[in-house]
Chain A
Amino acid sequence: MSFFDNYQFFCVLILILLPSLLLGILEQPLKWYSTAATILFTALAFFSKPEQAAYLILFFIIELTVVKGYMALRVSRDRNVRVYRLALFLSILPLILSKLAGLWGESIFAFLGISYLTFRCAQIIIETYDGLITEMSVFDFTAFVLFFPSLSSGPIDRSRRFLEDLNSIRPRREYLALAGEGIFKILLGLIYKLILASVFFKGMGMVDGARTWYYVIFYAYCYGFYLFFDFAGYSLMAVGTSYLLGIRTPDNFRRPFQSIDIQEFWDRWHITLSHWFRDFLFSRFMIQSIRKKRFKNRLNAACAGFLVNMLVMGLWHGVTPSYILYGLYHGVLLAATEWYKKKSTFYKNHRQKRWYRFLSWLITLQLVIFGFYIFSGKFVWLLGLS
Chain B
Amino acid sequence: MKETLFEILERICENDIVKSNPDIDLFETDLMDSLGFAELLADIEDELGILIAPSEVDRSTFNTPNRILTYLETRSAS
Contacts and interface: CB of A to CB of B under 8 A. Distances in A.
A287 B54 contact: yes
Interface in A110-160: 123, 126-127, 130-132, 158
A290 B8 CA distance: 15
B39 A132 contact: no
Contact of B54 (A263, A283, A298): A283
B33 A283 contact: no
B54 A279 contact: yes
Given A290-B42, A298-B39, A280 B55 contact: yes
A278 interface: yes
Interface of B: 33-35, 37-39, 41-42, 53-56
Main SS class of interface, B: helix
B38 A126 contact: no
A287 B41 contact: yes
A280 B34 CA distance: 12
Contact of A132 (B41, B42, B53): B53
B64 to A, nearest CB: 19
B35 A127 contact: no
Nearest to A130: B53
A163 B53 CA distance: 19
Interface of A: 123, 126-127, 130-132, 158, 263, 278-280, 282-284, 286-287, 290-291, 298-299, 301-302, 305, 338, 341
A212 to B, nearest CB: 40
A290 B39 contact: yes
Contacts of B33: 263, 338, 341
Contacts of A341: 33
A338 B32 CA distance: 12
B54 to A, nearest CB: 4
A338 B35 contact: yes
Nearest to B14: A342
Nearest to A309: B34
Contact of B55 (A279, A291, A299, A301): A279
B35 A302 contact: yes
B56 A284 contact: no
Contacts of B38: 282-283, 286-287, 290, 305
Contacts of A338: 33, 35
Interface pairs A-B: 10 shortest CB-CB: A286-B38, A283-B54, A130-B53, A279-B55, A302-B35, A290-B42, A287-B42, A279-B54, A283-B38, A287-B38
Contacts of A123: 55
Nearest to B56: A132
B55 A130 contact: yes
Contacts of A127: 53, 55
A305 B37 CA distance: 13
A343 B33 CA distance: 15
Contact of B56 (A130, A263, A299, A302): A130
Given A287-B41, A291-B42, A298 B53 contact: no
